[in-house]
Amino acid sequence: MRAARYYGNKDIRIEEIDEPTAGAGEVLIDVAFCGICGTDLHEYLDGPIFCPTPDTPTSWTGETAPVTLGHEFSGVVAALGEGITDLEVGDTVVVEPYILKDGTDTGPDSTDYHLSEGMNFIGLGGGGGGLAEKLAVRRRWVHKIDPSIPLDQAALIEPLAVAYHGVQRSGAKAGDIAVIGGAGPIGLLTGAVLRALGVTVVISELSSLRRQKALDSGAADHALDPAAVDVAQEVHDLTGGKGADIAFEATSVQAVLDTLMDALRPTGVLLNISIWGHRSDFDMHKLVMKEIDLRGSIGYVNNHPAVIELVESGKIDLAPFITGRIQLEDLIDKGFDTLIHRNETAVKILVSPSGKGVDPA
Ligand SMILES: [Zn+2]
With bands split at pLDDT 50, 70 and 90, how would you rate the model's confidence at 124?
very high
pLDDT beyond 80 at 213: yes
Whole-number Å distance between alpha carbons of 131 and 121: 14
Number of other residues whose CB lies within 10 A of the CB of residue 330: 18
Which residue, 298, 287, 361, 274, is CA-closest to 325? 361
Please tell me the distance between residue 101's alpha carbon and the centre of ligand 1 in angstroms.
20
Q: Tell me how many degrees the CA angle 295-36-205 measures, rounded to the nearest 5.
A: 55
Domain limits of the chain? Answer: 2-156+318-352, 163-296
C-alpha to C-alpha distances, 50 to 1, 119, 169, 300, nearest whole angstrom: 24, 10, 24, 17
Task: Specify the CATH architecture of the domain 2-156+318-352.
Answer: Alpha-Beta Complex (3.90)
Averaged pLDDT score across all residues of the chain: 96
C-alpha torsion angle, residues 27, 31, 35, 39 (rounded to 10): 50
Per-residue pLDDT tens over the stretch 158-191: 999 999 999 999 999 999 999 999 999 999 999 9
C-alpha to C-alpha distances, 96 to 138, 166, 268, nearest whole angstrom: 10, 16, 31
Percent of all residues in the chain with a pLDDT value above 90, rounded to a whole number:
93
Please tell me the distance between residue 45's alpha carbon and the centre of ligand 1 in angstroms.
15
Per-residue pLDDT tens over the stretch 31-44: 999 999 999 999 99
Whole-number Å distance between alpha carbons of 150 and 322: 12
Please tell me the distance between residue 8's alpha carbon and the centre of ligand 1 in angstroms.
18
Number of other residues whose CB lies within 10 A of the CB of residue 24: 10
Please tell me the distance between residue 72's alpha carbon and the centre of ligand 1 in angstroms.
6
Read off the pLDDT of each residue in 140-145 and give the average, rounded to a whole number. Answer: 98
pLDDT at 345: 81
pLDDT beyond 80 at 59: no
With bands split at pLDDT 50, 70 and 90, how would you rate the model's confidence at 246?
very high
Please tell me the distance between residue 298's alpha carbon and the centre of ligand 1 in angstroms.
11
pLDDT at 84: 98
Please tell me the distance between residue 276's alpha carbon and the centre of ligand 1 in angstroms.
14
Please tell me the distance between residue 317's alpha carbon and the centre of ligand 1 in angstroms.
19
With bands split at pLDDT 50, 70 and 90, how would you rate the model's confidence at 344?
confident
With bands split at pLDDT 50, 70 and 90, how would you rate the model's confidence at 332?
very high
Read off the pLDDT of each residue in 117-141 and give the average, rounded to a whole number. Answer: 97
Please tell me the distance between residue 25's alpha carbon and the centre of ligand 1 in angstroms.
25
Please tell me the distance between residue 197's alpha carbon and the centre of ligand 1 in angstroms.
23
Read off the pLDDT of each residue in 207-222 and give the average, rounded to a whole number. Answer: 96
pLDDT beyond 80 at 57: yes
pLDDT at 108: 96
pLDDT beyond 90 at 47: no
pTM reported for the whole predicted model: 0.97
pLDDT at 58: 80
Cis peptide before 66 (omega within 30 of 0): yes
Read off the pLDDT of each residue in 323-346 and give the average, rounded to a whole number. Answer: 93
Please tell me the distance between residue 48's alpha carbon and the centre of ligand 1 in angstroms.
15
Please tell me the distance between residue 78's alpha carbon and the centre of ligand 1 in angstroms.
24
Query: Would you identify the CATH topology of the domain 163-296?
Result: Rossmann fold (3.40.50)
